[in-house]
Chains A and B, each alone.
Chain A
Amino acid sequence: MMEAVFFGTLSAMVIVPAVFVVTVKNVFHAALWLVLCLVGVAGLYAMLAADFLFAVQLLVYVGGVMVLLLFVVLLSGKPSDWTGRQTNEKTWLAALFSGFLVAAIGSVVAGWAISSTPAAQPMTTTSGLGKLLLTEMLLPFEFISLVLIAALVGAVYFSAKKQAQ
């Protein structure tokens, strides 16, 4: 019972802000709604006994990516870009497609025979994840560091002002 209350609260905390993220007019407000949505997702991770991911979600998304997004919202755009219409003419078609997507995935998921009782899991996942990352997932782990370096260099290259010739 308690679990259902938690799940209902968290899913409302994810879905309602997500709808505001895509519909609200002011992009800055949309970014602030996105913060709430990401915190809700972190709560879902905690419900699924993924404690390390809970912390990572809060640190990387809410702390890092969102600050970056807010910076860019403030650095780019004229005021006229913010007050005008924020959605295109085909929004009804997009909504129709999204509804179809939910119906399709929902019908597939509803027909699944999947056990709903989780087996016991170790209390913390951090040590297990650390071992996994340094043994079986070592190759993708090294590649992700390469990707992060490339992203850093690329971001500096793209956003640096070009020197006058």
Chain B
Amino acid sequence: MIIGPKHFLILSAVLFAIGVLGILSRRNIVGLLMSIELMFNAVGINFVAFNRYVHPEALWGQGFTLFVIALAAAEAVVGLALVLTIYRGSKTILVERMNILRG
């Protein structure tokens, strides 16, 4: 059995769907951030797999994955600082309790 691009694409689709499931079902905001990391990684696998099998002579897919990783790090820094600030203010990390803007 030869491992081809389709295997990687299906794997990353499953990983992305698990991330979506986490986003939609978690109550804890840190859990939501972890699910977002899962989705970023699924996208990264896709980029690198396409780079390897469609344009093996170029490195643009890997370059974009580098940017995705850098942006994920930036997102994690800002997101976690926001989580700490929200927790300090409202004493909860459950997303359904964060409803002070509710009309």
Contact = CB atoms under 8 A, between A and B. Distances in A.
A, B bound = yes
Interface of A: 1, 3-4, 7, 11, 14-15, 18-19, 21-22, 27, 30-31, 34, 37-38, 41, 44-45, 47-50, 52-53, 56-57, 60-61, 64-65, 68-69, 71-73, 75-78, 81, 85-88, 90-91, 93-95, 97-99, 101-102, 105-106, 109-110, 112, 114-121, 125, 128-129, 132-133, 137, 140, 144, 147-148, 150-152, 154-156, 158-159
A34 B38 contact: yes
Contacts of B67: 140, 144
Interface of B: 1-11, 13-22, 24-28, 30-31, 33-35, 37-38, 41, 44-45, 48-49, 51-54, 56-57, 59-60, 62-63, 65-67, 69-78, 80-85, 87, 91-94, 96
Contact of B3 (A4, A21, A115, A155): A4
Given A38-B41, A53-B66, A69-B30, A81 B15 contact: no
A85 B27 contact: yes
Is the contact region of chain B dominated by helix, strand, or loop, or is it mixed? Answer: helix
